[in-house]
Structure 1
């Protein structure tokens, strides 16, 4: 996993939430829809400043594209302007929508979440990249983009997200209570949560796109039809 930071937490709707967690959900939804509140703008700028420090000249800010070019512009244009006004270099072309994924959903399964992204290699060579997006869950897209940027010559890639998805009932260890001391951890005892493909049989997102029950529950809040609007 490449290094990343986040501002708040996103609790999926299938969990009971506190008033603050519900407010954070709405904030995430609003940001995805292109609403940049003053508090979110200031939080991004403050967190970026803590990451970049006094080294702005060696950093560029890039955004992980949404599912369409229109969504990408709508979601990030105001934040890009805010960063520019603070003296940051924002690169809108280093990563871009090569094609819109919404139309591609009809054509069948894809195993590559960044296949619709284009990259301008020369834009990132020798640069430190602050890679921004809305919500990080498993981190697959972020890691694939970060690895591509580093292969294109970026000296460092750090992620910055509005929110990180939390899953209270997810336990990555065989028995969380077993390891009283971190030094007791032994790699063969580690395992990922088993993926199943039973609960959403017959849905496009599972049968065609290959999403597991766990992915649909986590990312789509148990509503497989919401796949058509996912980024």
Structure 2
């Protein structure tokens, strides 16, 4: 397998704080009862369920990690693939995390316009995929300190791409919290 040429800006994002609450074992692997509990929690969260339970553990970790600095932190979720999924997954969750942790909520300053076709080229091969269109209220992020949240991190490209976009608007990304980290065997 050829070495992948990775954007240096992504490497910078990956060197920041990256905390995951659980190890997530993909379905292609057999799981023990504890791993099944984690799968169900993550799947429920993605479906907009158990968001208050997850918000409590995330807010607790934010307060533990950042202390009195929490009131200056902007809490920002990597948007889901559509506006409907984004609202279902993150609206109440973001509200509750920010209420409990005392952080600033970025949810209303980012929108998902829908899906569009995108052409990607990798090693000379073009593929067409659905890609989301994310709109940022750029002025809101200028000069802020942002903590990013995403439900699952696998390799970290979505997180890094999102963090770079925020920094292009003048934000300083502190790092990311992730409900689950995919175990790659």
Stretches of structure 1 that go unaligned for 5 or more consecutive residues are 169-231
> In structure 2, the residue corresponding to 1:22 is in which secondary structure?
helix
C-alpha RMSD of matched pairs (Å): 2.1
Residue equivalent to 2:6 = none
Larger radius of gyration between Structure 1 and Structure 2:
1
CA contact (8 A) 1:33 1:75 kept: yes
Please give the alpha-carbon distance, in whole angstroms, between the structure 2 residues aligned to 1:32 and 1:155. Answer: 27
Please give the alpha-carbon distance, in whole angstroms, between the structure 2 residues aligned to 1:55 and 1:78. Answer: 23
Q: CA deviation at 1:58?
A: 2.1
> More strand by proportion, 1 or 2?
2
Residue equivalent to 1:35 = 49
Q: How does 1:65-104 map to 2 (within 5 A)?
A: 65-86=79-100, 87-97=102-112, 99-101=113-115, 104=116
The equivalent position to 1:147 in structure 2, one of 164, 171, 176, is 164
CA contact (8 A) 2:51 2:93 kept: no
Q: How does 1:1-231 map to 2 (within 5 A)?
A: 1=11, 2=13, 3=16, 4-36=18-50, 39-86=53-100, 87-97=102-112, 99-101=113-115, 104=116, 107=117, 109-110=119-120, 116-168=133-185
Please give the alpha-carbon distance, in whole angstroms, between the structure 2 residues aligned to 1:83 and 1:63. Answer: 11
Q: CA deviation at 1:48?
A: 1.5
Measured at CA, do residues 114 and 95 of structure 1 come closer, stay the same or move farther in structure 2, by a change above 3 Å?
Answer: farther
| Residues 173-213 of structure 1 deviation map (CA, whole Å, 9 limit, x = unaligned) | xxxxxxxxxxxxxxxxxxxxxxxxxxxxxxxxxxxxxxxxx
Please give the alpha-carbon distance, in whole angstroms, between the structure 2 residues aligned to 1:108 and 1:21. Answer: 35
After TM superposition, the structure 1 stretch with the greater mean CA deviation from structure 2, 134-143 or 154-163, is 154-163
Q: CA deviation at 1:38?
A: 5.0
Q: Which has the higher contact order (CA 8 A, sep 6+)?
A: 2
Q: CA deviation at 1:41?
A: 2.4
Please give the alpha-carbon distance, in whole angstroms, between the structure 2 residues aligned to 1:42 and 1:76. Answer: 14
Q: CA deviation at 1:74?
A: 0.6
| Residues 14-63 of structure 1 deviation map (CA, whole Å, 9 limit, x = unaligned) | 11111100110111100000012554222111122233221123211111
User: Could you tell me the TM-score, scaled by structure 2's length?
Assistant: 0.79
Measured at CA, do residues 67 and 37 of structure 1 come closer, stay the same or move farther in structure 2, by a change above 3 Å?
Answer: closer
| Residues 71-90 of structure 1 deviation map (CA, whole Å, 9 limit, x = unaligned) | 11110122122123222210
User: Could you tell me the TM-score, scaled by structure 1's length?
Assistant: 0.64
